[in-house]
Amino acid sequence: MTKGKTPPAPGHVNLRMLAEHLGLSQTTVSLVLNNSPSAKSIPQETRNRVVEAAQRLDYRPNYFARSLRQSRSMSVGVLAPDLSEGYFTRVMGGVVEELTAARYFYFTACHDWKPELIEKYPRMLVERAVDGFLLLNTSVDELTVPVPVVAISAHCSAEKVTNILLDHHQAVQRALSHLYHLGHRRIAFMRGPRAIPDSEFRWESIQQVAREMDLKLDPELAIRIDTAGWSTKGGQHPMAPEIGYKPMQALLEQTRAFTAVFCFNDISAIGAIRALKDAGLSVPGDVSVVGFDDILSAAYATPSLTTVRQPLAEMGRRGAKVLLERIADKKKTFPTDIFMESELIIRESTGPAKHRS
């Protein structure tokens, strides 16, 4: 049916065939269909004929030929750690909205935190002539690509890069003062994996805010999610609740002298809650738990999760929008950093600090 055997029938109508059919030159047809300014001398009647014929014969310009000529692909590359539950999904919701509106598609590449893939994928995508890059949650020291880049939740100091960042200071402040007002003074902190750029931003903000609030940070209560050696491929997913379960379990073996824990994200918070319960502690009775992100299941966890909501979709939208603008106008200057505000969602997992006996 769609074999494309003989030259006269390449499975589809091309410009030459359309032009022949109309008794016009390819030039004219192309000019009309692209509404090119240099076609202003072409009378309306001819235009109509062309457009009508194109429609009737279902003419579709060949994507490769067009892209070859114009050297742009109408697609961008998205570089992300993984297709993680929670983060990727939400950000991409916003990204897709913006890209689709501009008739752009995107290639996704998951580097799984492997340095060699973080090297390789950008190159491969450049070969596919993407018009720009979107970096999710991924820091790249020196990304030498010939196209614009927007980094979401990461920081690239390179030129031609716009960073979309959460205002971590404000986010942490909201979370900690919530706990503070509930009477919590001994708070455990779960730091994110080293690979994730936000881990460091967050931790710095925590230290700073703690100073400002005159809250003591006990190093013993600072635990860290360690995903070293984990891999999506191996069946074990780096973003399973287990990432929070293990460190919390380890902490509980050391000490129970804390009344709250501020987790790196909701997934790990769910794991942490599980660990607390398994250790015979009640949430929020004995320990209050604060998550981060506000993933969809946060509201349906037991207990439902108090968490800092990142405007992930909005960050995606904004990032995609800036990227498209950068693509459209390569010389204009763009802001280096764009900060987004978070929101504290208070649910069941936090409560008044238990007066310790």
Distance (Å, rounded) from C-alpha 321 to C-alpha 99?
Answer: 8
Distance (Å, rounded) from C-alpha 339 to C-alpha 343?
Answer: 13
Judged by CB under 7 A, does residue 327 bind DNA?
no
Nearer to a second copy, 217 or 313 (CB): 313
Give, as ranges, the residues between 245 and 264 that touch a second copy (CB under 8 A): 245
Judged by CB under 7 A, does residue 43 bind DNA?
yes
Size of the site for a second copy (CB under 8 A): 58
Give, as ranges, the residues between 65 and 94 that touch DNA (CB under 7 A): 65-66, 68-71
- The alpha carbon of residue 296 and the mean position of all alpha carbons in its chain are separated, in whole angstroms, by 16
Distance (Å, rounded) from C-alpha 58 to C-alpha 284?
Answer: 63
Judged by CB under 7 A, does residue 48 bind DNA?
no
The stretch near DNA (CB under 7 A) out of 32-40, 117-125, 151-159, 304-312 is 32-40
Judged by CB under 7 A, does residue 33 bind DNA?
yes
Give which of DNA, a second copy, none residue 36 binds (C-beta under 5 to 8 Å, depending on kind). Answer: DNA
Nearer to DNA, 65 or 257 (CB): 65
Give which of DNA, a second copy, none residue 33 binds (C-beta under 5 to 8 Å, depending on kind). Answer: DNA
Distance in Å, CB of 40 to a second copy, minimum: 28
Burial of residue 356 (CB within 10 Å: 0-12, 13-18, 19+) is: exposed
Nearer to DNA, 14 or 231 (CB): 14
Distance in Å, CB of 248 to DNA, minimum: 54
The stretch near a second copy (CB under 8 A) out of 125-133, 166-174, 217-225, 248-256 is 125-133
Task: With beta carbons less than 8 A apart as the criterion, state whether 288 and 187 touch.
Answer: no
Backbone φ and ψ of 162, nearest 5°: -110, 135
Structure tokens at 194: 């080293």
Distance in Å, CB of 20 to a second copy, minimum: 21
Distance (Å, rounded) from C-alpha 46 to C-alpha 237?
Answer: 60
Judged by CB under 7 A, does residue 24 bind DNA?
yes
Q: Which of 345, 344, 349 is nearest to 284 (CA)?
A: 349
Interface ranges with DNA (CB under 7 A): 7, 10, 14-16, 23-28, 30-31, 33-34, 36, 38, 40-43, 46, 59-62, 65-66, 68-71
